[in-house]
A = this chain, B = another copy of it.
């Protein structure tokens, strides 16, 4: 049984209320809590105003067993999260010498001067659990009221500090509050829409209790999350794996390109490494995005040699060896040009695989024959060249068409490896 049934997420920060930054913390924490089977009914953003902060804390503690707060732990007098939480839990703040030493050490390590107000970050409510911050100065805190069954976790607002602290300290703490474990598998699909996947899996989605099955759309592709609860993580994963196998046997199975693989670019890099092969790319409409997404994967240098961004026709000839005749006869947006680009960059860099994109990303440049959204993916390997034509909706915008074109190029290379 899980002692924590439902949680609220409270993000403190004027920069959020001004819209200067997007609240990625709330999405991250919601996803992490969902993975633990903890329901989140509210996310709230509030500023550093004492009255409003206290009201938000009070309301959250009324509704939820667990309140996770990010932000407002900084050194300035605007940062009142720590004080407000201590007050609501009826705890005094005392100076914590070890934290003070850590903060002083952090300033030394980053060659900066520590100011007097940084000491405020070493003030800790009596009885609070302290969460180590290895990326910054503000420690996190956990306050518990056993009698009321209420818990409040305070973490810094800087996403990198917060996520590191969550993984290191908060996740183990939350897992320890439950005598069962929950685990998930993410099935990655490509080439099928969310509603089509839902239609096929409807029965499993409706009837599945443990594991549960839920599809969700993710940047132009679809994922299916299978989640199970059992006495330990291993048993929960085994339950998930049974359902993953069932899903493989449905019509959805043919669209699966991986389970828990992170992304199509990560799956491609892993598959190339496993096959001992290298890749190069030539891009027109995606303009570097295919290469950028491969380079997003740390360690890609084992398999990625490089690429040509051949935006102008002259660049297609000079960097990717497309013949002038092909461009004249078929145009830049054609299967012939796509395949010559893929072959040209593969041969130029001596790669095993060459992949290319050429198309009309819009908003301008469309014609009746080749409207906005027309994209050709080329693929070249020792065994021969091939292509794929996309006809994306011209109602989509430039960013979407480029992103989905890049996804298709990455997936096409993966599938044909």
B41/A42 in contact, CB under 8 A: no
B216/A15 in contact, CB under 8 A: yes
Question: Complex: how many Å from CA A17 to CA B40?
Answer: 6
| A319 contact set on B, CB distance < 8 A | 306, 308, 319, 348-349
Stretch at the interface among A28-36, A140-148, A170-178, A251-259: A28-36
| A362 contact set on B, CB distance < 8 A | 298
Given A306-B311, A308-B309, A364-B298, are A19 and B41 also a contact pair (CB < 8 Å)? no
How many residues in A have their beta carbons less than 8 Å from beta carbons of B?
Answer: 79
Question: Complex: how many Å from CA A21 to CA B24?
Answer: 9
Question: Complex: how many Å from CA A317 to CA B45?
Answer: 52
| A291 contact set on B, CB distance < 8 A | 283, 287-288, 291, 309, 311
Shortest distance between the CB of A162 and any CB in chain B (Å): 14
Among A46, A292, A318, the most chain B Cβ lie within 10 Å of the Cβ of A292
| A363 contact set on B, CB distance < 8 A | 298
| A52 contact set on B, CB distance < 8 A | 41-42
Copy tally for this chain in the complex stands at: 2
In the assembled complex, A312 has its CB within 8 A of some CB on chain B = yes
A292/B294 in contact, CB under 8 A: no
In the assembled complex, A44 has its CB within 8 A of some CB on chain B = yes
In the assembled complex, A43 has its CB within 8 A of some CB on chain B = yes
Stretch at the interface among A205-213, A236-244, A396-404: A396-404
Convert A307-342 into 0s and 1s, putting 1 for each residue whose CB lies closer than 8 angstroms to a CB of B.
111111011101100000000000000000000000
A304/B298 in contact, CB under 8 A: no
Q: Is the interface of A mostly helix, strand, loop or mixed?
A: mixed
A44/B43 in contact, CB under 8 A: yes
Question: Complex: how many Å from CA A326 to CA B318?
Answer: 23
Question: Complex: how many Å from CA A362 to CA B49?
Answer: 40
Query: Quick one: which of B19, B42, B280, B298 contacts A34, CB cutoff 8 A?
Result: B19
Task: Return the chain B residue nearest A320 by Cβ.
Answer: B306
Question: Complex: how many Å from CA A287 to CA B348?
Answer: 17
| A135 contact set on B, CB distance < 8 A | 395
In the assembled complex, A417 has its CB within 8 A of some CB on chain B = no
In the assembled complex, A390 has its CB within 8 A of some CB on chain B = no
Question: Complex: how many Å from CA A106 to CA B15?
Answer: 38
Task: Return the chain B residue nearest A287 by Cβ.
Answer: B295
In the assembled complex, A232 has its CB within 8 A of some CB on chain B = no
A309/B307 in contact, CB under 8 A: yes
| A32 contact set on B, CB distance < 8 A | 19
Task: Return the chain B residue nearest A398 by Cβ.
Answer: B298
In the assembled complex, A165 has its CB within 8 A of some CB on chain B = no
Shortest distance between the CB of A279 and any CB in chain B (Å): 10
6 A-B residue pairings within 8 Å (CB atoms): A18-B34, A22-B27, A42-B52, A291-B311, A306-B311, A308-B308
Shortest Cβ-Cβ A-B pairs, 5 listed: A287-B295, A19-B31, A288-B291, A306-B315, A19-B30
